[in-house]
């Protein structure tokens, strides 16, 4: 097992990357605090973890609210006695997120509140808990669009994920001597419900796939494997990193057809 005696808190764990990571972390020996705003989805993840013999508990939290973030970290420490891994994974991509001209202020503010402020608040309350445990790993979900401009306009999402990278780098330096590592996971386009709702026709899917050198969408399970490496002691000399798991999209100038 790669996470023996570890306690991990995962936001956005009711679906997608978060759910797959909760299942994998538990299978690797971690006790998992499942966090989501969708209670039925979060509780289903807990049932799935327990069904495979793992240990997990659910707590509701809106990551854009300080009181909720403080409570979710407190739940981890009160339930399992400590916190070793903080995975700030929750995020949104609003259907009305477009270019700077047409994106409303409300969509901008909501996206920043969840995607960037939510990571800040997770770190604000999670890092002191890691420090109390003697150190640990923070993983912040960013995106390949934090490194490349998005051809399909999504200005709020792209800007929020760029902010996650900047925040990750600074926190990594600030806490490097405290045995706390802070890294950013940058997924490429994934075959998840979040993206497939947007790419809702075969034509839209193919327009995105042509830019991915590997010629396919990634899977949430593949992102969970990357998060496992960042959470484990195997990445003990890695901090402040932009960990791109994207099928080669950020390496490509043009893609072979």
Can you give the pLDDT at residue 194?
A: 72
Asked if the structure places residue 117 within a domain, the reply is yes
CA nearest 41: which of 64, 16, 70?
16
Average pLDDT along the chain: 95
Is position 213 within any domain?
no
The percentage of the chain sitting over the pLDDT mark of 90, rounded to a whole number, equals 86
Give the pLDDT score at 254: 61
Q: Does some domain include residue 244? A: no
> pLDDT category, 193, cuts 50, 70, 90?
confident
pLDDT for 256 equals 54
Structure tokens at 87: 């995975």
> What CATH number is attached to the domain comprising 54?
3.40.50.720
Q: Is the pLDDT of residue 72 over 80?
A: yes
Q: Does residue 157 have an active-site annotation?
A: yes
Give the pLDDT confidence score for residue 196 in this predicted structure.
75
Please report whether residue 12 resides in a domain. Answer: yes
Q: Evaluate whether residue 37 is within a structural domain.
A: yes
pLDDT surpasses 80 at 247: yes
Q: Taking 90 as the threshold, does the pLDDT of residue 206 lie above it? A: no
Question: Residue 227 above 70 pLDDT?
Answer: yes
pLDDT in tens, 141-182: 999 999 998 878 999 999 999 999 999 999 999 999 999 999
Predicted local confidence at residue 205, as pLDDT: 79
102 located within any domain? yes
Amino acid 255: pLDDT: 55
Domain hosting 54: range is: 7-189+220-238
Q: Is residue 201 part of a domain?
A: no
Looking at residue 184, its pLDDT comes to 98
Inside any domain, residue 45: yes
* Contact present, 122 and 88 (Cβ < 8 Å): yes
- Tell me the per-residue pLDDT of 15-25, one tens digit each, with 9 for 90 and over: 999 999 999 99
Greater model confidence, 51 or 254: 51
Residue 88: its pLDDT value, please?
Answer: 99
Q: Report pLDDT for 200.
A: 80
Counting the structural domains of the chain, the total is 1
**CA–CA dist 245, 26 (Å, integer):** 22
Confidence of residue 211 (pLDDT cuts 50, 70, 90): confident
| Candidates 58, 157, 229, 253; catalytic one | 157
Percentage of the chain exceeding pLDDT 70: 98
């Amino acid at each position: 097992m790669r996470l023996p005696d570890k306690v991990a808190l995962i936001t956005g764990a009711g679906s997608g990357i978060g759910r797959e990571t909760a299942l994998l972390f538990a299978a690797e020996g971690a006790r998992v605090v499942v966090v989501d705003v969708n209670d039925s989805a979060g509780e289903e993840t807990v049932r799935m973890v327990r069904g495979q013999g793992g240990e997990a508990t659910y707590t509701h939290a809106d990551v854009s609210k300080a009181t909720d973030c403080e409570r979710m970290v407190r739940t981890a420490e009160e339930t399992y006695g400590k916190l070793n891994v903080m995975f700030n994974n929750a995020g949104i991509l609003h259907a009305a997120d477009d270019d700077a001209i047409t994106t409303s202020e409300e969509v901008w503010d909501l996206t920043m509140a969840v995607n960037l402020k939510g990571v800040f608040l997770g770190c604000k309350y999670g890092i002191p808990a890691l420090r109390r445990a003697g150190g640990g790993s923070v993983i912040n979900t960013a995106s390949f669009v934090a490194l490349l401009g998005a051809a399909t306009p999504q200005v709020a999402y792209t800007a929020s994920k760029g902010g996650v990278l900047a925040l990750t780098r600074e926190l990594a330096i600030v806490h490097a001597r405290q045995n706390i590592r802070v890294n950013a996971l940058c997924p490429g386009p994934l075959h998840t419900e979040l993206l497939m709702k947007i790419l809702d026709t075969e034509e839209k899917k193919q327009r995105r796939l042509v830019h991915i050198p590997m010629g396919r969408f990634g899977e949430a399970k593949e992102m969970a494997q990357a998060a496992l490496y960042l959470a484990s002691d195997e990445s003990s000399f890695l901090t402040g990193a932009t960990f791109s798991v994207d099928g080669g999209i950020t390496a490509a100038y043009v893609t072979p057809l």
